[in-house]
Amino acid sequence: MSMHLPEITPSIPRSRTPQDLWRFVDRFSANLPVRPTDLVDRPTGYKDVVLITGTTGGLGCDALEHLLRDENVGLVYAFNRKNSHAMERQRLRFAARGLDGSLLNSPKFQMVEAVLHEPDFGLDAELLEEIRGSVTHIILNAWKVNFNVPVTAFEQDIQSVRNFVDFALSSPYIHAPAVVFVGSIAVLDNWKKLGPVPELPIDDPACAFGKGYSESKWVPERVLQNVTRERGLRTIVVRVGQIEGDRMGHWNEREWFPSLVKSALFQKCLPKQDGDITWIPCYEAAQALTELRHSSDPIVHLVHPRPVPWDSVLEPIARELNVPFVPYRTWLSTLEGSVVGEPGSTEQAHARRRNPALRLLPFYREQEEKIEEAHGPEREAMGFVFLSTDKAVRVSESLASLPETAGERALMWLAAWRKSGFLSTSWKGKL
Ligand SMILES: NC(=O)c1ccc[n+]([C@@H]2O[C@H](COP(=O)([O-])OP(=O)(O)OC[C@H]3O[C@@H](n4cnc5c(N)ncnc54)[C@H](OP(=O)(O)O)[C@@H]3O)[C@@H](O)[C@H]2O)c1
């Protein structure tokens, strides 16, 4: 069975206006293959067969564990980067994230090293046919998580979505596999309306415009809507919000919140805010993601359905680090005041390494504007938008019953950052 791929066109220049993003949507929606003739019913009595990409990363690794534990799943194909010692890295990642490594010995697990943006994923024909003939759900989780590059840098990622769409459409069964795309709250960067954001398509690309990453997550949303409309393929976009630490409490130190906490070692204060947070622990988010494969709604939101006040998680951290709580503006000014050296100088580079919040100053400034806008549209702490989860909680039982984030969880993050050395033990406070 041949794979119909979109025409190769020269790269489209970096988007200049929001409307330019439609050209990406058109390009990756072009020439959709028609379903094969002589489609047949799926054999009955079989369990789900799930293909998931990017299981060496945080969310994918945790999702893989849930899939391997799931009694309704008979087989998991984990698609990871070719020639990357994927199996070895998978085992290391399972151990580091407190997951049960013995599950990787299960006969229901198959690691597949693949090139996601290439036709046929660089796999041999026999394996590809085996997967085509068995897969029931495709979870597209792999993505370049880089906020500093333009949308053009994501062409291979978007191409990979299109490749899996074509693969799903080539299924020999009447019911082709469902395609689940791990989207992002980032597509709502410029959302201006009042109230929680509904689980619906975003018609105006201006909402996602401005950052390559956000734009790169909006384009597949629209491509998948076209695919569903034109070919009847079941597609599910899961817009994921802020994920926090892993099972051990460890939260990726390169992110904005760990850096904000670490700034307390230098700024000797932490910011207080009025709003709530809907952060979700990675292991629990991953479980919900796997459950959301059953959604009959094309767009669902994956954030904590029970918001808690920002202060309720920051206060135990401030107490533990022995620093006062100050208004956000004061914290930001203190951070701005600690910038040393010229841009690009060794002195500045050194300061940014010690206090990574300095590296993220533009982000914290941008969020301040959004916090100020909070009197208009309803917003969370840090100016993030509130997402409705009405549809998601109807499908995902684990999301519906997720306990509120408590102060103890914040202490788990601190313990994990101390263990990794991110929060230096030479600090004179209680550390
Ligand atoms: N973390 C969050 O708060 C958050 C929020 C919203 C949405 N998301 C989305 O959730 C998904 C997972 O995020 P994460 O935080 O788990 O990120 P991560 O830890 O960086 O994991 C990304 C995964 O994608 C793989 N990948 C990236 N480019 C690839 C390529 N060209 N070919 C094959 N594999 C590739 C990585 O493989 P290697 O290990 O080989 O690099 C890794 O397995 C992403 O789609 C992200 O956009 C995350």
CA of 423 to the centre of ligand 1 (A): 25
Q: Would residue 311 count as lying in a domain?
A: yes
Q: Would residue 426 count as lying in a domain?
A: no
CATH number at residue 72: 3.40.50.720
Question: Is the beta carbon of 141 within 6 A of some atom in ligand 1?
Answer: yes
Rounded CA-CA distance 56/2 in Å is 30
Question: Is the beta carbon of 243 within 6 A of some atom in ligand 1?
Answer: yes
Q: Would residue 232 count as lying in a domain?
A: yes
At residue 175, the pLDDT reads 96
For a ligand 1 pocket test, name from 55, 62, 81 the mutation site with the most ligand atoms within 8 angstroms of its C-beta. Answer: 81
At residue 7, the pLDDT reads 33
- Contacts of residue 84, defined as CB under 8 A and 6 or more positions apart, other chains included, come to 56, 113
Q: Looking at the 3D structure of the chain, how many domains does it have?
A: 2
Q: Would residue 429 count as lying in a domain?
A: no
- Tell me which residue range forms the domain holding 363: 256-289+305-420
- Contacts of residue 221, defined as CB under 8 A and 6 or more positions apart, other chains included, come to 181, 183, 187, 201, 202, 237, 299
Q: Are residues 50 and 177 in the same domain?
A: yes
Question: Is the beta carbon of 161 within 6 A of some atom in ligand 1?
Answer: no
Q: Would residue 11 count as lying in a domain?
A: no
Closest CA to 131 of 112, 115, 116, 149: 112
At residue 374, the pLDDT reads 67
Q: Are residues 402 and 298 in the same domain?
A: no
Rounded CA-CA distance 322/316 in Å is 10
Q: Would residue 334 count as lying in a domain?
A: yes
Q: Are residues 378 and 318 in the same domain?
A: yes
Q: Are residues 295 and 310 in the same domain?
A: no
Q: Would residue 5 count as lying in a domain?
A: no
Q: Are residues 208 and 146 in the same domain?
A: yes
Q: Are residues 283 and 235 in the same domain?
A: no
Q: Are residues 229 and 266 in the same domain?
A: no
Question: Is the beta carbon of 249 within 6 A of some atom in ligand 1?
Answer: no
CA of 294 to the centre of ligand 1 (A): 22
At residue 344, the pLDDT reads 84
Question: Is the beta carbon of 163 within 6 A of some atom in ligand 1?
Answer: no
Q: Would residue 1 count as lying in a domain?
A: no
Question: Is the beta carbon of 384 within 6 A of some atom in ligand 1?
Answer: no
Identify the DSSP state of 110.
E
Q: Are residues 51 and 180 in the same domain?
A: yes
Other CB atoms within 10 Å distance of the CB of residue 248: 17
Q: Are residues 82 and 217 in the same domain?
A: yes
Question: Is the beta carbon of 6 within 6 A of some atom in ligand 1?
Answer: no
Question: Is the beta carbon of 139 within 6 A of some atom in ligand 1?
Answer: no
Locate the ligand 1 atom nearest the alpha carbon of residue 58 and give its number.
Answer: 16
Positions in the chain short of pLDDT 50: 1-15, 425, 427-431
DSSP string, 134-200: T--EEEE------TTS-GGGGHHHHHHHHHHHHHHHT-SBSSPPEEEEEEEGGGGTT---SSSBPSS
Question: Is the beta carbon of 54 within 6 A of some atom in ligand 1?
Answer: yes
Whole-structure pTM value: 0.94
CA of 275 to the centre of ligand 1 (A): 28
Q: Are residues 81 and 123 in the same domain?
A: yes
Q: Are residues 134 and 267 in the same domain?
A: no
Please write the tens of the pLDDT for every residue from 371-412: 887 665 678 999 899 999 999 999 999 999 999 999 999 999
Q: Are residues 98 and 145 in the same domain?
A: yes
